Amino acid sequence: MKRTILFISSLLLIVGCSKEPKNKLPPQTSISNQSKEKSKQIIKKDTKYGVKEIKEEYVTTDYDCRLLPDPDSNNEITRIPKNTKLKVIESKDVQQGSMLNKWYKVEYEGEIGWTSSFNMKSHPEVRITTREEMLSNYEKKIGKKPINSPLTGKIPEVVNWLRKNKNNFDTIKYRQWYEPFPQNNKWVCRVQYDEVVGEYTLSSDMLFYIVGGNVIDVVDKNY
């Protein structure tokens, strides 16, 4: 009887020791998983008051080059010597013929102007545009391309100029109209015609330079 009681007491003691404490922490792996879940949460940044990163760009001249007031100008401000390091203030693409050229706005010895990227040691690759792209870029700068009449070949801007500036406009007989093309940021319209002046008939080969729909210059190719 004593042995039976002792055996039961020992069994109860073993069972009691095998129970887990109520306040025992979850396994370490559970804590680790919870940390990972928290780390996946995305914290949104307020860009309104954020500090913008400003990246400065520098270029170095490959040879003596001109500093111009504008990429389309031929008026030289000064010359920049070879191996001069310059800070780029601004840059832009400029259509020049069929090539799209990058220009830099820089400061040299207190003078601010523009110089071509092809004057620099590290210049971009040559970018040749399609005819459509070239004409589109020029139209953004100097206005719509003048259009030849599909029936007569005449260009209205040129005809209007002749009407206003030629006393003998009614005597003009056109021999050949050419399609306009861009040159030095102007549309060039060429026309050949004959006109009667007194007892004489004069033949002219004229170039009309147009910007923004207006004739700004006229040159006779014969002179």
- The reported pTM is 0.66
Domain assignment present for 32: no
Residue numbers of the domain that contains 117: 58-129
Nearest in space to 93 (alpha carbons), one of 56, 118, 67, 63: 118
Query: Rounded to whole angstroms, how far apart are CA atoms 174 and 153?
Result: 10
Domain assignment present for 192: yes
Report the CATH number that the domain containing residue 91 is assigned in CATH.
2.30.30.40
Domain assignment present for 162: yes
Query: Quick one: 148 and 213 in the same domain?
Result: yes
Domain assignment present for 7: no
Buried b (16+ CB within 10 A) or exposed e, 142-173: beebbebeeeeeebebbbebbeeeeeeeeebe
Domain assignment present for 49: no
In the chain, where do the E strands start and end? 58-60, 65-67, 78-80, 85-96, 99-108, 111-116, 173-177, 181-183, 186-197, 200-211, 214-220
Tally of domains within the chain:
2
Domain assignment present for 198: yes
Domain assignment present for 138: yes
Query: Quick one: 149 and 74 in the same domain?
Result: no
pLDDT by residue, tens only, the chain of 223 residues: 545 444 445 544 444 444 455 555 555 545 455 544 444 555 455 555 555 556 899 999 999 999 999 998 889 999 999 999 999 999 999 999 899 999 999 999 999 999 999 999 998 888 999 999 999 999 999 999 999 999 999 999 999 999 999 999 999 999 999 999 999 899 999 999 999 998 899 999 999 999 999 999 999 988 8
**pLDDT score recorded for residue 212:** 96
Query: Quick one: 101 and 173 in the same domain?
Result: no
Query: Quick one: 182 and 160 in the same domain?
Result: yes
Domain assignment present for 37: no
Q: 128 by DSSP, 3-state: which?
A: strand
Query: Quick one: 214 and 140 in the same domain?
Result: yes
The amino acid at 103: W
Asked if residues 135 and 119 have their Cβ atoms less than 8 Å apart, the reply is no
DSSP code for 1 = -
DSSP string computed for 184-196: TTEEEEEEEEEEE
**pLDDT score recorded for residue 72:** 87
Query: Quick one: 87 and 146 in the same domain?
Result: no
CA distances from 223 to 52, 203, 205, 216 (A): 59, 12, 9, 18
**pLDDT score recorded for residue 14:** 46
DSSP string computed for 46-88: -GGGPPPP----EEEBSS-EEEBSSTT-----EEEPTT-EEEE
**pLDDT score recorded for residue 135:** 93
